[in-house]
Each structure stands twice: as structure tokens, then as C-alpha cells.
Amino acid sequence: MTIQSLGVGSGLALDDLVTQLLEAERKPKQDRLDRREETIEAEISGLGQLKSKLSDFKDSVDDLRKDEAINGREPKITNPNEDISTIEAEASSSALKGDYQITVKQLASGSRIETANAVDGGFASSTDSVLSSGSGSLTFKVGNTGDSFSIDVTAGMTLAQLREKINSSENNFGVNANIISTGTADGGAKLVFTSDVAGAGNDLQIVNDNNLADLNRVATTDSAETASYLSPVVNAQNAIAVVDGIAVESASNEFENTIQNVSFTANEVSPFTTTAVSAEFPEGRIYESSRLKIGFDKEGLEEKINKFIENYNGIIDEISKLTRYGESDLEEDGALAGDSMVRSIQSGLASLVGSGVSSSELGGLFSIGIEIDSDGKLEIGNTDFGLGSGKDRLSDALDDAFDEVAKLFSSDNDGIATRMYDFIEQYTSFSGILSTRERAAKDNKDTVFDDRERFELQMLNYEQVLRDKYLNLDQTVSRLNRTGNALLASLR
């Protein structure tokens, strides 16, 4: 008889025995593999968290180590009253400090053209035909800019259809057509063209390309551009401003480099009051000026310093969490407890923030109010050492020694941000220490996976050995049982 399952022949619980022996063999080895994998995964997670915090900190350090980032100029604008915003301004880092009075007398605008009244040969209504017979085209252009587009006009096209064709042209550079009904028989319907192209001399031209008489009603000139039909009712004009008494103009509302390395935009005409015309006020107006002050971006630098402190403290918190030792058997150690690399990072950062900077007259972070507390974190100190609180020292340094604050961080020789960026880079770059550790840990995890596969094969082989061994026992006992049963039967 063939034994299909262990214990069937002998009646012994051999399957349970094999299962127990397998579990006894598997558990200690599997537990070791599980602990190895958990340790490696914790290490990978811890390294990733630390690297992320260091990368955030490196970004804030990068802002502080670049001259152009911390030596920015801040334009401050005071308009005549809070209800209007006459101008906006931007300044590059190379702009000089200055204080300017600016008046906007005129905004830049494009030209406006209207067709004649109905009584003077214009159109009675929007359904009037523009062209009675034949076909032609109109070209819209602004000669000084090179902007141009054309539309075809066919017999029977109404004034409204012409308007739609102009507005929907894919090459339209900023011409808008509209129809205004005057409500009178003499006035009729007037087709109005407005151009977005501003600046003196940039008047819109409408060329009657085929010199068709009907189209002269909606054109400014003929194909040779020598005739004169419609004329702008409003000419394109420059924006006009006065900067510290000097009149300046721009073809747009943006005045770039009118003040060197400073750009300002005119949003609306400055408020004014009327007065008697005189040599001082030839326009009969007294304008209220806006004040534009260009200075160091103290608020911007202070914000960067606070971000530097916040991200530095974030690293210290993360290191404390990753390297802590559990205070009892129930509390696990941090993922990187006792790791010498992490201790090196912490001591290196502490050394840098506490170091002196010979390139700056301020000498170090303490001079701008930054101190190290008992937990190794940075803070704007509250203690007055006879030099004022940390907040006072920072404010005074930004007011009185802005360039020295900048050098404290950005000096190429020994600026704190410069050296700290290089220090962090050696850990976070692709070939850096942290990245190398991460790759090594991931390789170790792959090794555990390979070890698991080998272990499973070993367990399969071991199970087969056990089953073969106990199968022989089962068969032997089964035979003995059958022999015994036969002997007992013969004795009866």
C-alpha cells in the first residue's frame, strides 16, 4: 500500500511533528532576517529624513551665500493717498540708493478712429453694406512697429460682419472694432477702431488695398498711402512722467532704466488740483507726487535669516529624534542611534555657526543677535549683554551695517553660509556621504532579500528531508502493525 500522507499508515501525528520541527528551524533564522530588514529600513528612512532636512537647510543657506540674493534693493512707494496706486516699481541689486518724487501726467495709449456720420457719407445702421459690388481687402498696420494684418471684404458684407471679421482675425495685433449707434438719423451707426499699440507716432492706419471707393469710408488711406480719408480722433501717445522735476516719456506705461537699474510702471495719472495758469504751472494743475525710495531689502534679508534659523533647528530636532536612545525596554532607539556620521554632521554645523568671520566687521552671528541655546538650537536671543537684546542687535545691524551682515553670510573666503553650503554639499550631493550611505543600505536590503530566497530554498530542502525520513518511519510502523495484526489473527 502506498502512503499518501504522513501518519496515515502508522496512525502517528507525523505531519504535526514535521510542522513543529520546521517552525523550530525557521523561527530563529527568520527572526534574524526580519530584524536585519527592519534595521536597514529604519536606517534608509532615517537617512532619507536627514537628507531632506539638510536639503531644505541648504536651500536657505544658498539664498544667504549669494550676493545678489541678499543685497537686493527694495523699492518703497508712497502714493498720494491709499486709495490709488499711481506707480509700481522694481529695482535690480545694482540699483543705487535714492529717493525720488514721481508724477504721472499722462498714460500711454493707442489711437482711435471713427467712421463719418451718416449724413456725411457714413453708415445709417449696422446692417448697411460696406461694399456694394466686387471684392477687396483692408490692411491694418502701425508703420513704426511693423504690426500688420489684412482682411478680405466681399460685396454685401454688412458693417456688423466687417466688425466681426476684424475682431476674429488670427493675425490681429490689438485692433478692436465696435459699432456705436448714435440714435439719430444724421449720426447713424459709427464703426470705431481702437488700437492697443501705444506711443507717439504709432497711429493706426487702415489701407484700402484695391482703392475701391466704397471702402474709403472705413480706410485712412489708399494703396499708395498718399490719400487721406479717415483721421484718428485720438492719436497714440506716450506716457509722460516727471521724476524730480525732469520730464520723461515712454511709448508704454513702463519706464525702464529711466532711473538707472530701476523700472517703474505708471498705473494712473497722479491726482491734481486746478490752479491759475502761470509760468510755474503752465497746465493750470498742481500734481501730487508719489515717493519712490530705493534702499536695501532689510525685510527680505531678515526673512532669509529667520528661515536659516528655522531650518537649522529643524535639522537639530531631526538629529535628536534619529539618534535618541530609548529610556526603557518599551521605547525603541532612534533609527541612527550611535551613528558616528550623524554626530559628525551635528558637531560640524555647531562649529560653523559658532565660528568667526574675519571678512565682516561684525565678526560672527552673536553680533546680529543669533545665539545657541542649551539644546544646540539657534535663536534670536532675549538676553541683554549690555549690547541690547538679540532682536535689537539684528535690527541695528540691518539698519547700520547692512553690507557687513551680507558679508557675514556671503563672503567667498569665510562667510558662514558659504562654508555651510560646502559642508552640507559633501553630504547631500549624488556622490556625497549620505547618498553613498543610502545606496549601501539599499544594497544591504537587496542582500536580505537574496538571503530570504536562499533560506526558503533551504527550508524546502529541509522539509523534504524530514518528510522522507518520517515517511520511512510511517511505512515501517505500518508494516509492523500489519504483521502484528496478522499474528494476533492466527493465534485466535
pLDDT in tens, 271-330: 999 998 888 888 899 999 999 998 888 888 888 899 999 999 999 998 888 888 877 666
- Are 159 and 176 part of one and the same domain? yes
pLDDT digits (tens, 9 = 90+) for 39-51: 888 888 888 888 8
Q: Tell me the C-alpha distance between 177 and 230, whole Å.
A: 15
Q: Are residues 154 and 189 in the same domain?
A: yes
Q: What is the mean pLDDT of residues 393-400?
A: 89
In this structure, are 272 and 421 located in the same domain? no
124 shares a domain with 48: no
Q: Are residues 374 and 304 in the same domain?
A: yes
Instruction: Report the distance separating Cα 172 and Cα 195, nearest Å.
Output: 10
Specify whether 291 is located in the same domain as 302: no
**Is the Cβ–Cβ distance between 155 and 212 less than 8 Å?**
no
What is the mean predicted confidence (pLDDT) over 168-186? 96
DSSP conformation class of 123: B
Cβ atoms within 10 Å of 329's Cβ, excluding its own: 6
CA 298 to chain CA mean position, Å: 22
Q: What is the pLDDT of residue 10?
A: 66
**Residue 492's pLDDT band (cuts 50, 70, 90):** low
Res 3 pLDDT > 50: no
User: Cα–Cα distance between 275 and 287 in angstroms, integer?
Assistant: 10
Rounded CA gap, 221 and 186, in Å?
24
C-alpha cell read off for 145: 512697429
Domain residues for the domain of 266 are: 73-108+238-296
CA 157 to chain centre: 50
How confident is the model at residue 17, as a pLDDT?
85
Q: What is the dihedral of CA 253, 257, 259, 261, to 10 degrees?
A: 130
Pairing mode, strands 272-274 and 285-287: antiparallel
DSSP of 266-331: E-SPPPEEE----SS-TTSEEEPPEEEEEEE-HHHHHHHHHHHHHHHHHHHHHHHHHH---SSTTS
The answer to whether residues 47 and 80 belong to one domain is: no
Average pLDDT of the chain to the nearest whole number: 89
Q: What integer is the mean pLDDT of 472-476? A: 77
Alpha-carbon distance of 355 to 357, in angstroms, equals 7
Other C-beta atoms within 10 Å of 3: how many?
A: 15
**Complete DSSP assignment for 42-94:** HHHHHHHHHHHHHHHHHHHHHHHH-HHHHS-EEEEEE-SSTT---EEEEE-TT
- For 120-133, the pLDDT digits (tens) are 999 999 999 999 99
**Where is the domain boundary, 234, 253, 274?**
234
Instruction: Please count the structural domains in the chain.
Output: 3
Q: Do 331 and 406 share a structural domain?
A: yes
Is the pLDDT at 462 greater than 50? The verdict is yes
Same-domain check for residues 206 and 222 = yes
Tens digits of per-residue pLDDT, 133-167?
999 999 999 987 889 999 999 999 999 999 999 99
Q: How far apart are CA 80 and CA 286, in angstroms?
A: 13
Final residue before a domain boundary, out of 247, 265, 296: 296
Pair 477, 16: CB distance under 8 Å: no
For residue 1, pLDDT beyond 60: no
Which DSSP helix (H) or strand (E) runs through 106? strand 98-106
Final residue of a domain: which of 296, 325, 340?
Answer: 296
* Same domain for 134 and 10: no
- d(CA 434, CA 344) in angstroms, rounded, equals 12
- Tell me the three cell numbers of residue 117: 456720420
Strand partners, 291: 78, 101
> Cβ neighbours of residue 165 under 8 Å, at least 6 residues apart?
151, 157
Helix (H, G, I), strand (E, B) or coil at 257: strand
Query: What percent of the chain is predicted at pLDDT more than 90?
Result: 51
Indicate if 100 and 134 belong to the same structural domain: no
| 256, pLDDT greater than 90 | yes
pLDDT of residue 174: 96
Measured between alpha carbons, how far is residue 256 from residues 197, 200, 292 in Å? 18, 17, 14
HEC string of 355-373 equals: CCCCCCCCCCHHHHCEEEC
3-class DSSP state of 340 = helix
Please give the Cα distance from 198 to 205 (Å, whole number). 13
Same domain, 301 and 413: yes
